[in-house]
Structure 1
Amino acid sequence: MNSSLSKIETLIHRHPRTVGLGIVAAVGVPWIIDNYLKFLALGKSGLSRIGPLGWLVALTLTAFGRETVSTAEYERGTKERWLETPVERRGARPLTGWHCVPHRQVDRLPADEIAKRLDAIFEKHVAANPTLIQTTLSPHEKTVPGVIIHPDIPSPHNDAKLGLREVAHIHPIDHSMHVILSPADSKIVVDLGWAERHPLSGVSRLLPLPNTYLLVYAPRDEEELDVVESILVASIGYMTGSRSVA
């Protein structure tokens, strides 16, 4: 035993850098592999398309993320509302991924039928409001369709400009959705457990995410589907400045 310890001490003394790198590799490589696989498990995104480089960007951005459920900052914004106060969401909030980009829900996922119904709701409101919104490639996600303000409508406020004029989009992997709401509506849906802020929302002027950029959790049943639809309609109204969303 003493002989083995002596050999280890000699090795450390003679090759300290090699030993140090070996320890770092033994600890770090499994973590790196696990973290990269967790990143890929969040589904297709603009960053996942570029593989390991996208993961490094996500890792860097995550370091700047902040908590996602405080709402005091919304009290300083406009008091205008487009959303009728919903009931409180049942149960705990879903978990979201370790990485803040892409921002995804990882549990409490909807059944296929509810997911299809949510897709149909998006299509219904786009078709019913052709002068307010249209569908194009999401300016934020760059891999999924997004609902944007119609080109004929000027951006009605700074949130629309910061948010690249995108109203909402659905994430196919989990059927959560990102939307932008008014500050007053944002406070309501976060406080009642229906949504959380994006970790990078409002962090920096260099990132096009206003602090009202929210992840709305995927609906699990008919009642929750109705609430999520009302949130989508409120987002369309706020982002277009309209009080007559169909």
Structure 2
Amino acid sequence: MAPKSFSAVAAQLPLQNRPRTLAALVLAIALSLPTASYALKSYRGYLALGPGGMPYNVFGWSLQGLLQLIAKWDTRTPAPFTKPANQKPYAPHGTTPFLAASPLPKRQGDRPDVPGYVAPQRQVTQQGSEDTRARMTAFLEALAARNPGVLVLKPSGLEGVGTPALWLDPAVELPRYLRGVKGELVHVHPEASSHITVSLADAEELTRKGWAERHRLSGVGGAIPLSYVMVYAPRDEAEFEAWKGVVRAGLMFVGAGAGKEVDVD
């Protein structure tokens, strides 16, 4: 049997003597059309970011949609890093500025566009090249090679296979703030942005000077560190050197928390 058309179904409804029912039906149709259009546009935008962190399908899109209920929107505001209530879990090194060894200028120009999906978090403008990403990965590999027993390079647990990440060695006792991410320290995304856990002091400076922003789940429920930030893709050689300085600062912070000296030179 052929499916009934919408008009055929509507014709069977006792609408003639029920103007309120007719009005409600018209209103429901009017409201559902833009909602469906928005959902389709949002889903296509989610897929356009590429795989990472969530299932690469409608279920992943739906899950990140649910997480919007608890996710933060003020990811470019540095204020949370300086609140005393937020600093205690990161003591005694959370308020230490490890970037002091690599003075950071204000990032030039506008920030890149970062869509509001909870995950994956990506920049869709000012993206880095494949060569830049390869150099970033090589830098992480060199750091792991210089720090056997402390650092190890393996696929990201947060982003999934295909995304290289630097971790604390499994033999190292994790600082409390890294337990939720199981010791993952930094990983590089396909468009050359990266996620790095740094000290609260450094996260404040990076955010204030336009180099980074928080993940939308950073500090939510204690699973992801508050100072887990997305650092924008390097646009030139000077910014690549600045990115290396951020990685070094993050490793010094985590190393201090774990009671391990990290060779970052």
TM range (shorter): 0.7 to 0.9
> Which ranges in structure 2 are unaligned for 5 or more consecutive residues?
1-14, 88-93
Q: Say if 1:12 and 1:19, in contact at 8 Å, map to a contact too.
A: no
Q: Could you say which residue in structure 2 is the equivalent of 1:47?
A: 54
Match status 1:235 vs 2:250:
yes
The reply to whether residue 118 of structure 1 matches residue 140 of structure 2 is: no
Alignment correspondent of 2:27: 20
In structure 2, distance between residues paired with 1:135 and 1:120: 10
Write out per-residue CA displacement over residues 187-236 of structure 1, whole angstroms, 9 at most, x where no aligned residue.
1211111111111111223xx11110100000010000000011111212
Contact 2:152 / 2:169 at 8 angstroms: preserved in 1? Answer: yes
The count of residues paired between Structure 1 and Structure 2 equals 234
CA RMSD of aligned residues (A): 2.2
Partner of 1:79: 95
Candidates 73, 76, 93, aligned match of 2:111: 93
The structure-2 alpha-carbon separation of the partners of 1:10 and 1:226, relative to structure 1 and needing over 3 Å to count, comes to: farther
2:194 maps to 177
CA distance, structure 2, for counterparts of residue 14 and residue 149 of structure 1:
63
Q: State the SS of the aligned residue for 1:86.
A: coil
| AA aligned opposite 2:130 | D
* Percent of matched pairs sharing the same residue: 26
Contact 1:180-1:235 at 8 Å conserved across structures: yes
SS in 2 for 1:162: coil
- 2:236 paired residue number: 221
- Partner residue in 2 for 1:153: 172
The 3 A distance-change label for structure 1 pair 32 and 162 is same
Whether the 8 Å CA contact 1:165–1:239 is kept in 2: the answer is: no
**2:115–2:121 CA contact under 8 A, matched in 1:** yes
**1:16 offset after TM fit, Å?**
4.3
Asked if the contact 1:71/1:190 (under 8 Å) is kept, the reply is yes
In the alignment, the residues of structure 1 paired with residue 140 and residue 81 of structure 2 have an alpha-carbon distance, to the nearest angstrom, of 26
Q: Secondary structure at the match of 2:179?
A: helix
Deviating runs (4+, > 3 A) in structure 1? 8-18
Tell me if the contact between 2:129 and 2:192 (Cα under 8 Å) persists in the aligned partners.
Answer: no
Consecutive unaligned residues of structure 1, counting only runs of 5 or more, are 1-7
Instruction: State the one-letter code of the partner of 1:61.
Output: L
Residue 74 of structure 1 contacts residue 184 of structure 1 at CA under 8 Å; is this kept in 2?
Answer: yes
Using the size of structure 1 for normalisation, the TM-score is 0.86
Q: Counterpart of 2:138 in structure 1: which amino acid?
A: A
Distance in structure 1 (CA, Å) of the matches to 2:154 and 2:138: 16
1:243 deviation in Å?
A: 5.0
**Distance in 2 of aligned mates of 1:132 and 1:245:** 12
Any residues of structure 2 matched to 1:46-65 within 5 Å, and which?
46-49=53-56, 51-65=57-71
Report the equivalent of 2:75: 68
Taking the aligned partners of 2:178 and 2:61, their CA distance within structure 1 comes to: 28
| Residue of structure 1 aligned with 2:218, choices 174, 185, 201 | 201
